[in-house]
Amino acid sequence: MQLKTIFFIFSLVISLIANGCNNNKNAEDNFNYGDSTKLPPVETSKPNAKYKPAFPGQTRVSGVKTITPYRVEKIAEKLGRPWAIIPLNDGRLLISEKSGYMEIRNSNGSLIKKIIGFPEVDDAGQGGLLDVALDPDFKDNKIIYWSFSEQYGNGNLTAVAKGKLNESGGKIENPKVIFRATPALESVLHFGSRLVFDKEGYLFVSTGERSIIEGRVQAQQISSGLGKIFKITKDGKPAPGNPFLNNNKAMPEIYAYGIRNAQSLDIHPVTGDLWEAEFGPRGGDELNIIKAGKNYGWPIIGYGIEYSGEKIGEAIQQKPGMEQPVYYWDPVLSPSGMVFYKGNAIPEWKNNLFIGGLSSQHIARLVIENNKVVGEERLLADKYERFRDVAYFNGMLFAITDSGNLYKISKK
């Protein structure tokens, strides 16, 4: 009897444990931890706002993990205050520095040339010499474009200029401002300022709404250049076909509006769509596909709260006529420069999006299928760096940080 009693108690305990495990299953318990494509979401912290996403997969999707071995190398340091990095045609790197100059560096990180001669910049706060883009015919004409914060009237604004890169002379020749995102305001924040050319040779320019209330409300005004995505020609004129060309109350250069502060732009290598990421306040950083004439909602709708903890406006997340983000983060990513991985040296990265995270201190890798984010991974989180920009060239990624470091990521 005693042995039977012991056996009965043992069986009962095993049964209770098994039933308890089954009853406590939830979505995360169903992940197969041996599967690199269906891991728990990378974000585990409590969100700032108790808002519901508009559709499944709009935030906190499954985590993924890169299987292909890759190498991370710090190839340069003490770069000052770098803001943008782009590859030249031959794989060398052009890097902007906020105080008003650029550098050309080898793909091994060594300095080749310092480039000066740029118009004076206002580098207080988030301002300075910011993004840089190559003319589509750069190989022949050596023309580059750059954005910067410019003192203008009684305030400052985001301006775009162009000039010829004289590498041997270490200077820019014939610099000329081709576009200004008016009006100028007195603020050192939210200049936006990312540049990218499309396949037709037109230049997309992002601007912020300058953070202050006076500028914030102008993100919804198509007569203002604040909180916008512009599409312009190489001479700074409105691109043909722009959505507000025939509206005499609008800036004809505007392509889309309702933007908070976009420091991230790139074009999908397959679809040709323009993708954008922007800072939210406390929570609500967004990833969007930018379409002509569309309103992206700021500050009417959003998934964040004020830095004070108060609600923003009516605290609504959806409104007819306003676009939903493809994806959002809460807590924030603080998205700066981003780039699509256009090769297959690391096969699972092909057409993935890589975004430099500032306050989040990592590079976000996003797997995208049918214009939806289906997987997220955090790279270089062990470096504890504010990643300002990310560039792609020939199967490699290059990243710069606010501390002045330059990293190369390549297949082992």
Cα dihedral sign for 328, 329, 335, 338? negative
| Catalytic member of 162, 171, 190, 362 | 190
Strand ranges for 268-411 from DSSP E: 274-278, 285-290, 327-329, 335-340, 353-357, 363-369, 372-379, 387-393, 396-401, 406-411
Planar angle of CA 280, 285, 291, nearest 5 degrees = 100
- The span from the CA of 263 to the CA of 227, in Å, is 11
Question: Residue 363 burial by CB count (10 A; 0-12/13-18/19+): exposed, middle or buried?
Answer: buried
DSSP strand E in 222-333: where?
228-232, 254-257, 262-267, 274-278, 285-290, 327-329
Q: Which two tokens stand for residue 389?
A: 């920009």
Whole-Å CA distances, 400 to 108, 128, 249, 250, 384 = 13, 16, 40, 37, 13
Clarify whether 268 is annotated catalytic.
no
The candidate with the shortest Cα–Cα distance to 375, out of 40, 28, 17, 139, is: 40
What are phi and psi for residue 4, nearest 5 degrees? -60, -40
In sequence order, which residues have a C-beta less than 8 Å from that of residue 271 and are 6 or more positions away? 371
Cis amide prior to 238 (ω within 30 degrees): no
Q: How far apart are CA 326 and CA 335, in angstroms?
A: 14
Catalytic residues: 190
